[in-house]
Amino acid sequence: MSDVHPSLLQRKIIHVDMDAFYASVEIRDNPSLAGKPVVIGGSPQSRAVVCTASYEARKYGIRSAMACSRAYRLCPQAIFLPPNFEAYSKVSQQIREIFSRHTNLIEPLSLDEAYLDVTNNAQGIYATQIAKAIRQSVKDELNLSCSVGVGPNKLVAKIASDMRKPGGITVVPPERVSEFMRHLEVRKIFGVGPATEKRLHEIGIQKCSDIWTFSPTQLENELGSFAHWILQASQGLDDRELETNWERKSMGREETFSADISDLETIQKSLKLLSKDVADSLKDEELEGRTVVLKIKYADFQQVTRSRSLAHHTRSESQIFNCAQQLLLEKTEAGKRKIRLAGVSVSNLRSQ
């Protein structure tokens, strides 16, 4: 078609996203949970938030980031399980191995999603065939389900993978990009958060095609430097390359307490467990780090981070804990002010 933008003809990008990831892994490993509403997060009595929920649980309105207590009210018969990061990072490595059969150009976005550039793929086959092969391998070898989007760039591929969840493949060829974007709500564009969405609504923009009615100058007057990017994105145009040299920048864990606490001993006990989890995860991923970061959220939600760099890289539980503890005692108001959350992370990482 003559009106297809030339940049849409150059690349083939796939976006893979696992379905109800943490919950699906738990159900796979404990089949008695199949078909039941399963919530991964803290206990309903705690103030933890939901990491994710099985599709059965979502029917009750349960969503990621919702308080577990609210999830419980929505569905008291739901089964609440704590996250098991070791299991999820193992699956994450396994899906990456499956992706690597098709291309070396892989950009993991999180444990459960990644972009693949398959313009020049190992077998010289269509991107759609690769999408089907990946979905099949994930099902046959890992007994898990994923959704896949295929498009001419990252923006379109990512929106596409979300269209037929769970288990669906959505292919948007270059000549269909325009129609695909036309009816989409602007918040579906990666990077349009609630504040931007509100601003766009204020000037009468709901759907991507509403943006097309503005001239670049008009849009710039309304939105400033952001105008160019949103005009491109609304047409499904996106030149970003894959960032294939992705490296983990930090490893961390945090805990929201069931009640605000000022008792230092309880906080230190929590730091010890968090430090152990961090040390274990560093070991799993064969990493070690030099900077220990303590995060504290006070009862009034004010949040502070305090960090200290060690003389050497480490993944020793006791070194991480000692450092976090010192930071707690010397650099925070814990003990005097009540706190609701503590987190420990290690950054400045290198492979060991």
**Which phi-psi region, left, alpha or beta, contains residue 61 (left: φ > 0; alpha: ψ -120 to 50)?**
left
State the minimum distance, in angstroms, from the CB of residue 20 to Mg ion. 7
State the minimum distance, in angstroms, from the CB of residue 110 to Mg ion. 8
| Contact indicator for 296, 334 with CB cutoff of 8 Å | yes
Catalytic residue among 26, 56, 113, 288: 113
| Contact indicator for 150, 137 with CB cutoff of 8 Å | no
The residue within the footprint of ligand TTP, chosen from 12, 14, 17, 169 (CB under 6 A), is: 17
145 or 332: CB nearest ligand TTP: 145
Residue with tokens 């730091």: 271
String of DSSP letters for 283-339: HHTTEEEEEEEEEEEETTS-EEEEEEEEEEEE--HHHHHHHHHHHHHHHS-BTTB-E
112 or 238: CB nearest ligand TTP: 112
Helix (H) or strand (E) holding 195: helix 194-202
Range in contact with ligand TTP (rule: CB under 6 A) among 13-21, 125-133, 204-212, 270-278: 13-21
Size of the site for ligand TTP (CB under 6 A): 14
Range in contact with ligand TTP (rule: CB under 6 A) among 20-28, 129-137, 206-214, 218-226: 20-28
The residue within the footprint of ligand TTP, chosen from 16, 27, 38, 51 (CB under 6 A), is: 51
| Contact indicator for 164, 147 with CB cutoff of 8 Å | yes
State the minimum distance, in angstroms, from the CB of residue 204 to ligand TTP. 30
Structural tokens at position 65: 């980031």
17 or 107: CB nearest Mg ion: 17
Rounded Cα distance between 297 and 267, Å, is 12
The residue within the footprint of Mg ion, chosen from 15, 17, 25, 56 (CB under 5 A), is: 17
Rounded Cα distance between 18 and 20, Å, is 7
Range in contact with ligand TTP (rule: CB under 6 A) among 12-20, 203-211, 213-221, 261-269: 12-20
The residue within the footprint of ligand TTP, chosen from 11, 13, 22, 281 (CB under 6 A), is: 22
Rounded Cα distance between 146 and 16, Å, is 7
Q: Is 113 a catalytic residue?
A: yes
Q: How many CA atoms lie within 13 A of 79 on its CB side?
A: 16
Size of the site for Mg ion (CB under 5 A): 4
- Is residue 311 at the binding interface for ligand TTP, with CB under 6 A as the rule? no
Q: Which does 283 bind (CB under 5 to 8 A by kind): ligand TTP, Mg ion, none?
A: none
Which residues are known catalytic residues? 113
Residues that bind ligand TTP in the complex, under the rule CB under 6 A? 17-22, 51-52, 64-65, 112-113, 165-166
